[in-house]
Structure 1
Amino acid sequence: MPYAQPDHIAEGEFILRIDARFPYKDKRQCEVLIEEARAISVNAVFMVLHEICRGEWVRKRKPLALELLEAWRDGWQHPLAAPLSGCAIALIRGEVISDEQAASVMTLISNHPYQYNALAIARAATGRPRRLDQLARQVIDTWAMRQS
């Protein structure tokens, strides 16, 4: 499926609608939201991944979170899908990746402007996201310079 051209208004509304309100217990509804995100923007798709792999619910429902991750990956091709899936798996399993691994993923993300949710996932996967604040700021500044 080709990437949707971002509709920033729809993207913002979608993110607000699902942020901390993702229907974790309803797999079918989650799958509907995955498809909806794909029609909105890549950042919306990464917001869905962010919801799947983060939060209190994951500790209680790891098998479901892994199923939702599979649904998220299924049929969607993007250069960041594999590295972010690795970060998501670590988060779901309660594991961490090294700062070096996260920095490597963040460097990949830097080549895909405005993927803020992807950046958040990579940082979170270290278990110490603040340690990568400087790199995150550099990535965001790079995106801002491309726009000007």
Structure 2
Amino acid sequence: MTYEEFYYSIDCKFPYHDESEWKRIIELSIELGEDAPFLVLHEICRLPASEKLRQAKHLEMYNYWKQSFASPVQDIVEPASLSYIHKNKLTDSEALEIMDKLSEFPKSYNALQVVLFSCPDDDELVDEKYESIVAKWKSAT
């Protein structure tokens, strides 16, 4: 399975209520590598409005994801991830600080998106920072 096929297989179709399936998807994302596990993180964190999930179950899913592999990006993006699960927002300055740290890990696009959507971005500075980092990563390839 390619990354693109994987993306389309879970985009807006994540099985939040099927534990064996979401565990399988997490494992598959790790096998695919690169940014795939963070694509899964994005799906885990950005629960659609149409989905209802108890916070304890949401945390269980997140913790399973986090314990399934090791990456320094996990710890960097964790405050943004937990802001979704706990249904609160980071401040724009907190998000910008996290983005600065993530910028050192090229192609962490999905982790960067988790941060982008974790704050109000009232002055659009976070979006501007996101675009700047993505442009930097793309120009380096």
Aligned residue pairs: how many?
139
Residue of structure 1 in register with 2:137 after alignment:
143
Instruction: State the AA in 2 paired with 1:23.
Output: P
Q: Provide the rounded CA distance (Å) in 1 between the counterparts of 2:75 and 2:51.
A: 20
Structure 2 stretches lacking a partner, 5+ long: none
Pairs within 5 Å for 1:78-117? 78-117=71-110
Pairs within 5 Å for 1:64-79? 64-79=57-72
Residue 134 of structure 1: which of 99, 121, 128 is its match? 128
Q: Provide the rounded CA distance (Å) in 1 between the counterparts of 2:74 and 2:39.
A: 13
Q: TM-score, normalised by structure 1?
A: 0.86
Residue of structure 2 in register with 1:4 after alignment:
none
Please tell me the root mean square deviation across aligned C-alpha atoms, in Å: 1.8
Quote the offset at 1:87 in angstroms. Answer: 1.0
Identical pairs, percent: 26
Residue of structure 2 in register with 1:46 after alignment:
38
Quote the offset at 1:58 in angstroms. Answer: 6.0
Which deviations, in whole Å up to 9, do the C-alpha atoms of 1:66-120 show, x marking residues without a partner? 1100000114211110122221111111111111111111112211222211111
Indicate the larger mover: 53-62 or 107-116: 53-62
Larger % of helix: which?
A: 1
Structure 1 stretches lacking a partner, 5+ long: 1-8
> Is the 1:58–1:65 contact (alpha carbons within 8 Å) kept by the matching residues of 2?
no
